[in-house]
Amino acid sequence: MKLYSLSVLHKGATKSNLLKSAYDLSSFSFFQRSSVQEFMTFTSALIVERSAHGSRASVKEQGYLCHVYVRNDSLSAVVIADSEYPQRVAFTLLDKVLEEFSRQVESIDWPSGNPDTINYKALDIHLAKYQNPREADAMTKVQAELDETKIILHNTMESLLERGEKLDDLVQKSEHLGNQSKVFYKTARKQNSCCEVM
């Protein structure tokens, strides 16, 4: 999962205006980087121009996904990522960047601004932070931890059974289970045994 580009643009009446951008082109060869950056800038502007106000969209281009968010006030952001990057996290990033940008940069500067005149330095920080969606997004992080816990629990049960111990034997040996619980377990086992597929 990788983010390559994060751009903030203003959607004008006929064309879009790049306000600020950040790139991570380390996965491309040195001689390709300037061409790749130009292509990503061009693609970002084109997607904003073709998107309606108040819309969010994801556009697939070769092996990349371009996520765009155009607000009703014409402020827009585009993130270009690989196809494995989670869409929800990408849109969370776009929301955060546009909110922060609109608080720090006056709206009067949006139509005529350019990367040299706009004073907003957080794009590089956001691009670096969101490279790992698990760390950047709390919900993704919790889901990953739950997945890991399920794997650990599954592996633990398998390792118990691999040692030659059967769950039935463990139930019989348990001092913590009352006689009533043991009878319940045996009855449930018998009831479910008719449905087992071997």
- Structural domain spans, the chain: 3-161
Q: Tell me how far CA of residue 89 lies from CA of 15, 66, 70, in angstroms.
A: 27, 13, 17
CATH number for 3-161: choose from 3.40.50.970, 3.30.450.50, 3.30.450.20, 3.40.462.40.
3.30.450.50
17: which strand partners? 10
Instruction: Convert 109-144 to b/e letters by CB count within 10 Å (16 or more is b).
Output: ebeebeeeebeeebbeebbeebeebbebbeebeeee
Q: What pLDDT tens digit does each residue of the chain (198 aa) get?
A: 788 889 988 888 888 888 888 898 888 888 888 888 888 888 888 888 888 888 888 888 778 888 888 888 988 999 998 888 888 888 888 888 889 888 888 878 888 888 888 888 888 888 888 887 766 666 556 655 665 665 555 555 566 555 555 656 665 566 556 666 666 767 776 766 655 554
- The whole model's pTM is what? 0.66
Scanning 80-137, the segments in alpha helix (DSSP H) are: 87-104, 123-129, 133-136
Q: What does the alpha-carbon distance between residue 3 and residue 65 come to, in Å, rounded to a whole number?
A: 10
What is the sign, positive or negative, of the torsion defined by CA atoms of 20, 104, 54, 16?
negative
Q: Do 21 and 30 form a contact (C-beta atoms < 8 A)?
A: no
> Can you read off the two tokens belonging to residue 2?
């990788």
